[in-house]
Amino acid sequence: MTAIPLAWSDAQRLHDPAAEIWVGVRTPAVEVAARADAIRTALEQAGHPVVTATAAPEPALAAVHDRALLDFLAGAWEQWEQSGLPQDPGQDRVVPYFFPHPGLLGTLAPALPVATWARTGHFAFDTMTLIGPGTWEAALGAAGAALTAAELVLDGAPAAYACCRPPGHHVTRSAYGGCCYLNNGAIAAARLLEALGGPVALLDIDAHHGNGAQSIFYASADVVTGSVHVDPGAGWFPHFLGFAGEQGDGDGEGANRNVVLAPGSDDAPWAAAVQELVDWARGFAPRALVVALGVDAAAGDSESPLRASAAGYRAAGHALGSLGLPTVVVQEGGYDLAMIGALVRETLAGLSDGLAAAAARAGTRAIPSTASPARATGAAHTGVRGAHATEVRRG
């Protein structure tokens, strides 16, 4: 048996946000191509084969995103450049400045602005998710990696990993943000749903709430969505949602679950929260699983206040694998370049072990773990900043 295959697109390197604009201040970007390179290196060294991703077809994107959003993203940089904004006022990336707030519009539907610099605010919900030359191509590459991983699973692989960059789990059907442009996990889930029927489980273990999938599938039980994340009520992104009371609506009532963690939570509450989410999802008898994997809940990551270790991520992977389902893992956050590769490797090792144990219980075969055990019980602490300073705003 081979290790979990890694779906990869070189196009993801084309996105260079250069910076983020947070509370009006231009700060260096941390969602950089080196993240994906570090993951690929670690997984290749552990024996995971690389599969070149195919292009994402338009219908797969339209299955979860509005046409207006896709059209905007596809042409945003070209229109920005043609408007002369890189020269005057000298803004070298697409960034919004004006938003259609409900308090502004009242009962009126927002018009799509004519001005390029205003149109961006119609589709973006923050100021830090910048668009530049190559952003759209990279987003398409990431979506293609997610779809390729889904096809590998549909072709019989017990699991496949999509090295998606930029990440995607904050994107809703009609709006982008959180350093995300296309919702790769939702795109993969929709493809599995199309091929296998429902339900499909989409479980998000990024440090931040998976608000995009929650929004896209909130009124449907075909894709059940769950997220383990730091409590937005403690001052963390996405602030306005991600609370336990959000459980779905209409046909999807009861098919969404949020498990929130207090800042400072380490392996014990982290592993218990992931297990709670797994046990909840099992009750829906899903036919396939998509894991939105962010490794920014680790102790050494400056973008969240959680304290999970490499061993904690391995345990989380094992719990997810225990569902015994065809599984697509889609990369989300994780910004500690020294640890990101090892954390992903350990998660996939745990997933392999969990799948093998589930298959043994069922009397079938599964892929064995080929990744090395965790080298340490925890990642080195590198100075996690407080919520008021870090804002936990991405991935």
Is 122 marked active-site? Answer: no
Nearest of 166, 163, 240 to residue 208 by alpha carbon = 240
Question: Dihedrals φ, ψ of 141, to 5°?
Answer: -65, -40
Say if residues 292 and 330 touch (Cβ distance below 8 Å).
Answer: yes
**SS3 for 11?**
helix
- From the list 170, 209, 229, 318, the catalytic residue is 170
263: nearest Cα among 230, 289, 291: 230
Cβ atoms within 10 Å, residue 13: 17
Give 273's DSSP letter: H
**Can you tell me the distance from the alpha carbon of 163 to that of 145, in angstroms, rounded to the nearest whole number?**
7
DSSP annotation of 299 reads T
Pairing of β 50-52 and β 288-293: unpaired
Q: What is the distance between the alpha carbons of residues 321 and 251, in angstroms, rounded to a whole number?
A: 28
DSSP secondary structure code for residue 160 in this structure: E
Residue length, the chain?
395
Is residue 206 within 8 A of residue 296, CB to CB? The reply is yes
- Does residue 238 have a cis bond before it (omega within 30 degrees)? yes
Smallest CA-to-CA distance from 7 within 163, 155, 157 is with 163
Backbone angles phi, psi at 252, to 5 degrees: -95, 10
Q: Distance between CA atoms of 178 and 35, rounded to whole angstroms?
A: 16
- Rounded CA-CA distance 246/232 in Å is 13
| CB 210, CB 169: distance < 8 Å | yes
Distance from C-alpha of 18 to C-alpha of 371, rounded to nearest angstrom: 33
Q: Which DSSP symbol is given to 141?
A: H
- CB atoms < 10 A from the CB of 26, how many? 15
Token pair, residue 257, equals: 């679950």
- Catalytic positions: 170
